[in-house]
Chain A
Amino acid sequence: MQHGKYRFIAGFLAAPLALYALFVVWPFVQSIYYSFTDWTGLSPDFSLVGLDNYARLWDDDVFWASLRHSLLFALLLPVLTIGLALFFAFMINVGGRPRRGAAVSGVRGSSFYKIAYFFPQVLSIAIVALLFQFAYNPESGAINSGLRAVGLGGVQPLWLGDPDLALWCVMAVLVWSTVGFFVVLFSAGMASIPRDFYEAALLDGAGRITTFFRITLPLLRDTIQSGWVYMGILALGAESFAVVQIMTTGPGGPDYSTTVLVLYVYQSAFRDGAAAYATTIGVALLVVTLAFAAAVMRLGRRERLEY
């Protein structure tokens, strides 16, 4: 009956594996194959062209600019977002001054902040991008109007129209719209850290900064790591595409200052009728994403703490 056991287990595994192969593995294989063709995406006929697309990629300044920006997103966005989210979550949950009745508590009004921070999460990224586009309007937008109102009429940046600022404007929107999610995620993580640890630390005379680095951070490590991967995917993928596509000059500009890999894939496939070249850029993006995931996993490898 050993044979029957295999069949039993295989029966369970076959369906999910087949689905995975069909919807995940196979598209990957296909797009890698298309990157060696001259498929336009507008007609079923194409021929194999060898490494032409990759040679073109190598000499394509816009590709390198996109890669640079995507890498910048993947490195900076997680640091900024998770750093801010950790700070907020700590202040909301354990960062308050000791009060009567509870040795460990959040700052005053912490329950309000928790909701306020999460609020952007209920807005779709497209709406967020549109709203910020209005705010960044140099002529009548909220930011420049605000600057004028406080007597800074001389400081009227072009924001999205300035190649030195545009990328940072876009990044700020992504941080704003995602930080709330991580505040909630980390709050939940912190809630599961036993209060005794904090109380013990406080009894030993540890300040807020020390408790954060010695207790909160090490015990949240797993949560932060998964947050990091999630944020990296978001920075390389759909979210960064949406804001760049909706908000920026061109889109992708001014002067290629905000173009990212996903946007370039989209433009090649759906504007230029160069689907094969788009899949080539997609392969490059795949490499970047895998490298990012591998790096995070390697850096984060450690024995699990049980508590």
Chain B
Amino acid sequence: MGSTPGHPNGGGIGRRDLIKRSAALGLAALPAAGFLSACASGGGAGGSKVEKGEVTKTNPLGVNGTAALEVVIFDGGFGQQYAIDAERKYNAAFPGAPKVTHKATQKIQSELQPRFNGGTPPDLIDNSGAEQMDMGVLVGKKQLADLTPLLDAPSIDDPGRKVRDTLRPGIVEMGRFDGAPVRVLYYAYTVYGVWYSRTALDRLDARYPETWDEMLALCEKAKKQGVAGWTYAGKHPYYLPFSLYPFIAKIGGREVLESIDNLEPNAWKHPAVKAAFEAYDELQRKGYVLKGTPGLDHIQSQTAWTKGRALFIPNGSWVENEAAGTMPEDFDLAVAAPSGLDASDRMPFGTLWASGGEPFIVPAKARNVEGGMEQLRIMLGEESSRNFTRQVKSLTAFDGGTDGIELTPGLESGLAALEKAGENVVNPRLPDWYVKLQKEQIGVAGLGEMMAGRLTPAEAVGRIQGFADRAAQDPSVRKYRHR
């Protein structure tokens, strides 16, 4: 079409020629395209900060009263209503600010990772759920603001008390990753342990066993009636530590868990670890674990348990909400600290794992850092905290907030367990510091295999120690220590 007869070489363009030329064109287009494409790790310049407001008695953080605030909430077991309620309070406190931009998602990482890369993260994030962003990496890359100003600000209820003095034990310590600064505020407070139905134990004319011999005897009794002693999330065996880790601490003292968290050489070779592993292995060997458990996921195992097919399940306080659908009216849910091994245990019965959940972070590059912290300060007030507990049946980091609301059986028993534990609350940090080690390696490849009867306790210990050693030597894994 384009060629005209008048041209000297009127033969037109050869096919080969055309391909060559268009390829050259494509190559030329490439750098230009690169210029256009928002390079995944380009950006950087991004968000400028809003101007700081005036510090007053009612505005101790110096929030800019006219600046916008953006909050992203993980829309999981706790929903998002509690956050929306707290955001209304923010707007009431700062009428000059536009309505808080609220976003709820289950895909924290997919939605926020690009914004961290681009340097324009939101002001407050509930970094929770399956798509939680690795906080060790975020801290290592200096992406999180120091929340110390928030902790030192007066609480919203009582100007005479600092926020840090209103929190439950361990919350501030948990938020420390790289020395003094507090990078994360865990808003929910979770009680881990052995969960059971009081009704089911009554039926067996039993009470919760405080020693391992009693535990075995009770399991035997239940087995004769066709009920298994234990079940667990077989496809997520990293639920087992919820009762196993405090069990280890009870046998050998909390230092054992700390040296495990610190990835010290031979930390897992401690006799207390082996004793605890052997005790759990015995449950499996004697047939006290519900048949088929290694093939059940968390929901399936919880359902088998609420149906009365097994007595005990290692879990966290969210189970009351999560399993509510299948839990009979008269279930009478309760949580207990792990049964002890014998009289030589280093810590008393009642030693319990309790710690913060729902990690809230304020990005260092957020536009409105003060606003993000102020929103947290509001949420840590008694009224917001009570609202959360009422809505989702879970405690918050605020020490209190349970007066004047009707407590559900699980919540009440959790509070009682905390009271019984007193000082003896342990807080293993592996799940936050070394996610892969905790879930995939210790959980699935170690404990999961042992509880399925495919590894002996000694083999499991050796294998897990190997994983821990490899993590300790891996320069790409950032290390944290108890201090």
Which of A75-83, A88-96, A228-236, A250-258 interfaces with chain B? A250-258
Tell whether, in the assembled complex, residue B33 and residue A26 are in contact, meaning their CB atoms are under 8 Å apart.
yes
Tell me, in angstroms, the Cα distance from A10 to B235 when the chains sit together. 56
Select B41's contact among A29, A46, A250, beta carbons within 8 Å. Answer: A46
Tell whether, in the assembled complex, residue A21 and residue B26 are in contact, meaning their CB atoms are under 8 Å apart.
yes
Task: Take A1-B7, A14-B25, A272-B436 as given contacts and tell me if A254 and B444 are in contact as well, using a CB distance cutoff of 8 Å.
Answer: yes
Which of B50-58, B134-142, B267-275 interfaces with chain A? B134-142
Tell whether, in the assembled complex, residue B116 and residue A13 are in contact, meaning their CB atoms are under 8 Å apart.
no
Which positions in B face A, CB cutoff 8 Å? 1-4, 6-7, 9, 12-13, 18, 21-22, 25-26, 29-30, 32-34, 36-37, 39-44, 109-110, 113, 116-119, 131, 133-134, 136-138, 140-143, 234-237, 290-297, 300, 304, 309, 435-436, 439-440, 443-445, 448-449, 452, 454, 476
Select B435's contact among A8, A46, A136, A272, beta carbons within 8 Å. Answer: A272
The answer, yes or no, to whether A277 is at the interface (CB within 8 Å) is: yes
Tell whether, in the assembled complex, residue A17 and residue B295 are in contact, meaning their CB atoms are under 8 Å apart.
no
Question: Which residue of A has the minimal Cβ distance to B139?
Answer: A42
The answer, yes or no, to whether A124 is at the interface (CB within 8 Å) is: no
Tell me, in angstroms, the Cα distance from A17 to B27 when the chains sit together. 9
Tell whether, in the assembled complex, residue A22 and residue B36 are in contact, meaning their CB atoms are under 8 Å apart.
yes
The answer, yes or no, to whether A115 is at the interface (CB within 8 Å) is: no
Measured between beta carbons, the chain A residues less than 8 angstroms from B295 are: 136-139, 158-162
Tell whether, in the assembled complex, residue A161 and residue B436 are in contact, meaning their CB atoms are under 8 Å apart.
no
Tell me, in angstroms, the Cα distance from A274 to B292 when the chains sit together. 35
Tell me, in angstroms, the Cα distance from A254 to B236 when the chains sit together. 10
Question: Which residue of B has the minimal Cβ distance to A134?
Answer: B300
Select A137's contact among B3, B142, B300, beta carbons within 8 Å. Answer: B300
Query: Least Cβ distance of B230 to chain A in Å?
Result: 13
Query: Least Cβ distance of B462 to chain A in Å?
Result: 15
Tell whether, in the assembled complex, residue B44 and residue A44 are in contact, meaning their CB atoms are under 8 Å apart.
yes
Measured between beta carbons, the chain B residues less than 8 angstroms from A17 are: 22, 25-26, 29
Tell whether, in the assembled complex, residue B292 and residue A161 are in contact, meaning their CB atoms are under 8 Å apart.
yes
Tell whether, in the assembled complex, residue B6 and residue A43 are in contact, meaning their CB atoms are under 8 Å apart.
no
Task: Take A20-B26, A26-B30 as given contacts and tell me if A158 and B136 are in contact as well, using a CB distance cutoff of 8 Å.
Answer: no
Tell me, in angstroms, the Cα distance from A238 to B74 when the chains sit together. 25
The answer, yes or no, to whether A302 is at the interface (CB within 8 Å) is: no
Measured between beta carbons, the chain B residues less than 8 angstroms from A56 are: 476
Query: Least Cβ distance of A245 to chain B in Å?
Result: 10
20 additional contacts (CB under 8 A) given A2-B7, A10-B22: A1-B3, A2-B2, A2-B9, A6-B13, A17-B22, A17-B25, A21-B29, A22-B37, A40-B140, A44-B44, A45-B44, A137-B296, A140-B304, A160-B235, A248-B235, A249-B444, A252-B440, A255-B448, A270-B109, A273-B136
- 10 CB contacts below 8 A, A to B, read A5-B1, A5-B12, A17-B25, A26-B33, A29-B30, A44-B119, A144-B292, A255-B444, A255-B448, A271-B435
The answer, yes or no, to whether A156 is at the interface (CB within 8 Å) is: yes
Tell whether, in the assembled complex, residue A44 and residue B445 are in contact, meaning their CB atoms are under 8 Å apart.
no
Measured between beta carbons, the chain A residues less than 8 angstroms from B291 are: 138-139, 156
Select A25's contact among B1, B4, B9, B30, beta carbons within 8 Å. Answer: B30
Tell me, in angstroms, the Cα distance from A171 to B173 when the chains sit together. 46
Tell whether, in the assembled complex, residue B476 and residue A38 are in contact, meaning their CB atoms are under 8 Å apart.
yes
Tell whether, in the assembled complex, residue B42 and residue A44 are in contact, meaning their CB atoms are under 8 Å apart.
yes
Query: How many pairs of residues, A versus B, come closer than 8 Å at their CB atoms?
Result: 193
Tell whether, in the assembled complex, residue B134 and residue A277 are in contact, meaning their CB atoms are under 8 Å apart.
no
Q: Which residues from 240 to 276 on chain A have a C-beta closer than 8 Å to any C-beta of chain B?
A: 248-250, 252-256, 267, 270-274
Tell me, in angstroms, the Cα distance from A158 to B234 when the chains sit together. 10
Tell me, in angstroms, the Cα distance from A133 to B297 when the chains sit together. 9
Select A42's contact among B12, B30, B113, beta carbons within 8 Å. Answer: B113
Measured between beta carbons, the chain B residues less than 8 angstroms from A14 are: 25, 29
Measured between beta carbons, the chain B residues less than 8 angstroms from A144 are: 292
Select A254's contact among B117, B436, B448, beta carbons within 8 Å. Answer: B448
Measured between beta carbons, the chain A residues less than 8 angstroms from B9 are: 2
Question: Which residue of B has the minimal Cβ distance to A252?
Answer: B440
Tell me, in angstroms, the Cα distance from A4 to B138 when the chains sit together. 56
The answer, yes or no, to whether A150 is at the interface (CB within 8 Å) is: no
Question: Which residue of B has the minimal Cβ distance to A45?
Answer: B141
Q: Which residues from 126 to 180 on chain A have a C-beta closer than 8 Å to any C-beta of chain B?
A: 133, 136-140, 144, 156, 158-163
The 9 closest A-B pairs by CB, nearest first: A5-B2, A138-B292, A161-B295, A273-B137, A43-B141, A161-B294, A273-B134, A22-B33, A138-B295
Tell me, in angstroms, the Cα distance from A210 to B293 when the chains sit together. 49
The answer, yes or no, to whether A18 is at the interface (CB within 8 Å) is: yes
Query: Least Cβ distance of B387 to chain A in Å?
Result: 32
Question: Which residue of B has the minimal Cβ distance to A163?
Answer: B454
Q: Which residues from 80 to 129 on chain A have a C-beta closer than 8 Å to any C-beta of chain B?
A: none
Task: Take A9-B13, A139-B292 as given contacts and tell me if A44 and B300 are in contact as well, using a CB distance cutoff of 8 Å.
Answer: no
Measured between beta carbons, the chain B residues less than 8 angstroms from A189 are: none
Q: Which residues from 22 to 51 on chain A have a C-beta closer than 8 Å to any C-beta of chain B?
A: 22, 25-26, 29-30, 34, 38-46
Measured between beta carbons, the chain A residues less than 8 angstroms from B44 are: 44-45
Measured between beta carbons, the chain A residues less than 8 angstroms from B294 are: 138, 158, 161-162, 249, 254
Candidate in A18, A34, A44, A272 with the most chain B CB atoms within 10 angstroms: A44
Query: Least Cβ distance of B134 to chain A in Å?
Result: 4
Tell me, in angstroms, the Cα distance from A4 to B143 when the chains sit together. 55
Measured between beta carbons, the chain A residues less than 8 angstroms from B296 are: 137-139, 161
Candidate in B22, B116, B236, B439 with the most chain A CB atoms within 10 angstroms: B22
Query: Least Cβ distance of B309 to chain A in Å?
Result: 7
Tell whether, in the assembled complex, residue B25 and residue A161 are in contact, meaning their CB atoms are under 8 Å apart.
no
Tell whether, in the assembled complex, residue A2 and residue B134 are in contact, meaning their CB atoms are under 8 Å apart.
no
Tell me, in angstroms, the Cα distance from A5 to B11 when the chains sit together. 12
Tell whether, in the assembled complex, residue B22 and residue A13 are in contact, meaning their CB atoms are under 8 Å apart.
yes
Tell whether, in the assembled complex, residue A44 and residue B37 are in contact, meaning their CB atoms are under 8 Å apart.
no
Select A18's contact among B18, B33, B134, B452, beta carbons within 8 Å. Answer: B33
Candidate in A26, A46, A133, A274 with the most chain B CB atoms within 10 angstroms: A26
Tell me, in angstroms, the Cα distance from A139 to B297 when the chains sit together. 11
Measured between beta carbons, the chain A residues less than 8 angstroms from B235 are: 160-161, 248-250
Tell whether, in the assembled complex, residue B18 and residue A9 are in contact, meaning their CB atoms are under 8 Å apart.
yes
Select B138's contact among A1, A30, A42, A160, beta carbons within 8 Å. Answer: A42
Question: Which residue of A has the minimal Cβ distance to B114?
Answer: A41
Question: Which residue of A has the minimal Cβ distance to B119?
Answer: A44
Tell whether, in the assembled complex, residue B116 and residue A42 are in contact, meaning their CB atoms are under 8 Å apart.
yes
Measured between beta carbons, the chain B residues less than 8 angstroms from A250 are: 235-236, 439-440, 443-444, 448
